[in-house]
Structure 1
Amino acid sequence: MSCRLHLNQPLEAGTTVDLPANLAHYLHTVMRHAVGDTVILFNGHGGEYHAVIDSLSRKAASCRITAFENIDREMACRVHIVQGACRSEKIETVLQKGTELGAAGFHITRSERSSLKLDGSKLDARLDRWRKIVTEAAEQCGRTIVPTVHWHTRLSDIPCHGLGLTLHPHTAASWQQIRTEIRESSEITLAVGPEGGWSDADIATLGERGFRSIAFGPRILRTETAAPALLAAIQAVQEQ
């Protein structure tokens, strides 16, 4: 299987592209590739490009693009994840697994029970890290689109695209009752609370933003488990 690399630049068959130093190091030192080996490049705008390594050292590399393949591995339904801000390692799990399972984008947001506070240079550094995690997950799993990652300081600022759903263990509405709506939706936004869940005020705010509360089975899920579980369930329902 060819190594997949994301390049944030225009790509075109028949051209040669220079790789940044970090990708050259990855190919040369980590993956032990050599001149003449094939790789796959993608820029997040759909499809992927087959390429051959023309030159390679620890600090520099170039690839000749031989062909474009208009392949689509995205979910038929665009699913956006709103994740209540929690410990960073839990957010990273949601980003990685959510990307592998097909999420279109992530909105990390403060809420009443959020433990994570970010601003200024600390926020910039954390967003860079989160976006790197998403990019690497997209490279690994074969996606041709890289999900977006956004930070919100207020829950009232989050978007609700299409069908808006949030988990609440004590609501009367169940997953089974909305399966038809999920199957017929082209866009869904899932809102998952932080450790400790959403507060009553958070639930009210989400309702004002267009989210409906649902229960997802009889057990309480960890904050880092909920979004991946729901993504997998949505895909299963839509493929039936």
Structure 2
Amino acid sequence: MPRIYCFLPLSEGALVVLDAAASRHVQVLRAQPGDALTLFTGAGGQWQGTIERMGRSEVTVRIGGFEPLEREAARPVHLACGMPANERMDWLVEKATELGAVRVQPLHTAHSVLRLSAERAAKKQQHWQQVAVAACEQCGRNRVPTIEPVRTLSAWLGSAEAQAPAAALRCVLSLAEGARPWGELLRSATPTQPVWLLSGPEGGLSAEEDAQARAYGFVPVTLGPRVLRAETAPLAALALATLG
């Protein structure tokens, strides 16, 4: 059954006209009046619906019953990452959503290849948020992760978003000697303990940035002796944290 994101408030029995993006999605699927679909608002749970009318540019749906279904990971992970170049950030956001990240913070760092002006960064944030929505439609999540505005690492470290609760794990992926194995640290934590995970871009964080992260309480962790790509490392760490 098709799953469609709808940002409108929903209630049983209501007749709702889907927004342009959602309507196009339904039309691309070649759905017809009478077909069933599932709607979710991103705030948790999902609604059953039936298509009442297929117009040229809009679709009308009759809302059925609500299902308080959750598919979130037991361990909430907030991922901050130096943006990889080209389309790899799209891929990273998509897979991070599938793996259960609750927030993704794109970062400009010293070694970042991708540099975005303020206007372009805002457009990219909106694009990445839509990537996350599409990934939720595909994977079954009913809560859409937040894709934060692009920031510099220094600005993010000093922001409220980086100030994790006292009980949370704050970790930075690091190649430095003495970094603790990521799997070992997770096994010593509780299954629901929140994680703030920081990962660098191509070339990793600079020595100064690594030191700055540690000064803010981020513990260096390692995924092993191999050097993973900028889009692979955070996803591998995320998978261990949410699927284990």
Question: Which residue does the alignment assign to 2:216?
Answer: 209
3-state SS of 1:123 partner: helix
Q: Deviations over 1:71-124 (max 9, x none)?
A: 010011110110112214111111000000100010011111112222232122
How many pairs are equivalent?
A: 235
Question: Which residue does the alignment assign to 1:169?
Answer: 175
The one-letter amino acid paired with 2:198 is A
Within-5 A mapping of 1:26-105? 26-28=25-27, 30-105=28-103
CA distance in 1, matches of 2:183, 2:46: 37
User: 1:121 and 1:197, CA in 2 relative to 1: closer, same or farther beyond 3 A?
Assistant: same
Q: Deviations over 1:39-87 (max 9, x none)?
A: 1001111000000000013311110111000001001111011011221
Out of 212, 220, 233, the position equivalent to 2:240 is 233
CA distance in 1, matches of 2:191, 2:22: 41
**TM-superposed deviation, 1:9:** 1.9
Kept in 1: contact 2:121–2:150 (CA 8 A): no
The one-letter amino acid paired with 1:132 is Q
1:127 equivalenced with 2:125 (yes/no)? yes
CA distance in 1, matches of 2:103, 2:195: 11
**TM-superposed deviation, 1:176:** 4.3
CA distance in 2, matches of 1:226, 1:40: 33
Task: State, as a whole percentage, how many aligned pairs show the same letter.
Answer: 31
User: 1:74 and 1:23, CA in 2 relative to 1: closer, same or farther beyond 3 A?
Assistant: same
1:12 equivalenced with 2:11 (yes/no)? yes
CA distance in 2, matches of 1:22, 1:50: 19
Which of 147-156 and 225-234 deviates more? 147-156
The one-letter amino acid paired with 2:45 is G
Which of 142-151 and 173-182 deviates more? 173-182
User: 1:35 and 1:129, CA in 2 relative to 1: closer, same or farther beyond 3 A?
Assistant: same
CA distance in 2, matches of 1:105, 1:44: 13
CA distance in 2, matches of 1:219, 1:160: 30
Which of 197-206 and 154-163 deviates more? 154-163
User: 1:47 and 1:185, CA in 2 relative to 1: closer, same or farther beyond 3 A?
Assistant: closer
The one-letter amino acid paired with 2:113 is S
**TM-superposed deviation, 1:185:** 4.7
Question: Which residue does the alignment assign to 2:159?
Answer: none
CA distance in 2, matches of 1:92, 1:209: 28
User: 1:59 and 1:144, CA in 2 relative to 1: closer, same or farther beyond 3 A?
Assistant: same
Q: How large is the Cα RMSD of the aligned pairs?
A: 1.5
The one-letter amino acid paired with 1:177 is E
1:21 equivalenced with 2:28 (yes/no)? no
User: 1:42 and 1:176, CA in 2 relative to 1: closer, same or farther beyond 3 A?
Assistant: closer
TM-score normalised per structure 2? 0.91
Out of 194, 198, 219, the position equivalent to 1:191 is 198
3-state SS of 1:99 partner: helix
Question: Which residue does the alignment assign to 2:146?
Answer: 148
CA distance in 2, matches of 1:12, 1:183: 37
**TM-superposed deviation, 1:160:** 4.3
TM-score normalised per structure 1? 0.92
3-state SS of 1:139 partner: helix
CA distance in 1, matches of 2:52, 2:73: 34
Kept in 2: contact 1:171–1:213 (CA 8 A): no
